[in-house]
Amino acid sequence: MTYKFELFCADCRNAYDQNTGEAALEIIRQNLEKLIKENPEFIEKSCGANAEYGVNELYTDPQNGFIVYAHNIKVGRKSPPHDHGASWAVYGQAKKFTDMTEYRRLDDKTKAGHAKIEETKKYRLDFGMAGKFGPHDIHQIYFEDEARFIRVTGADLFKEDTLTYNPENNSVNIIGTGSAADNDRAAANS
């Protein structure tokens, strides 16, 4: 039986705790893997050869505000280490691969523009695999040309303030509302 996109969205909605409003990211991650593996028609439509390049919004939940995007990337790239601000994100690989690197912050956050981070984990997402990042989790992604993935976010990342880190000079920059995501959108379309 095919795991329908509509059921996936309902399952994401049901993954929210009614008392705290927090999303159970592991449940969303597992369901995203299920969607990618069990619904080839959805993957072909949203991430196949004829899918539009760029970051394409597929669904926004009116109750909890989570958003499902299809990322269809023409030219591969490596992001700087960054976070998604107060939002979370779950990435599910639909075509090719994405290399993920996770970091932790070591400094006490008291010096403006300064941040010391260290790598804690590195792994590859191949087709059907999904990874998750909670609010303020620092990560870096690398994908090659024509990579495609589905991403579920807890908020509109094109409106969130985020942080971008440079481990070479121990610096951090606050990226103004949506600008980091807009750069991602522009890069996806190039």
Q: Tens of pLDDT along 88-107?
A: 999 999 999 999 999 999 99
Q: How many CB atoms lie within 10 A of CB 75?
A: 14
Integer Cα distance of 157 and 22 in angstroms = 17
Residue 176 CA to chain centroid, in angstroms? 18
Q: Which residue has the higher pLDDT, 176 or 134?
A: 134
* Percent with pLDDT over 70 in the chain: 92
**Confidence check: pLDDT of 183 > 50:** no
CA diameter of the chain = 54
Name the residue ranges covered by the structural domains of the chain.
5-189
Tokens of 84: 């998604």
Q: Quick one: pLDDT at residue 158?
A: 81
pLDDT band at 159 (very low <50, low <70, confident <90, very high): confident
CA distance 85 to 71: 20
Inter-axis angle of helices 5-14 and 25-38, nearest 10: 170
Percent of the chain topping pLDDT 90: 87
pLDDT at 97: 96
3 state DSSP class of 150:
strand
CATH architecture entry for 5-189: Sandwich (2.60)
Which one-letter amino acid corresponds to residue 47? C
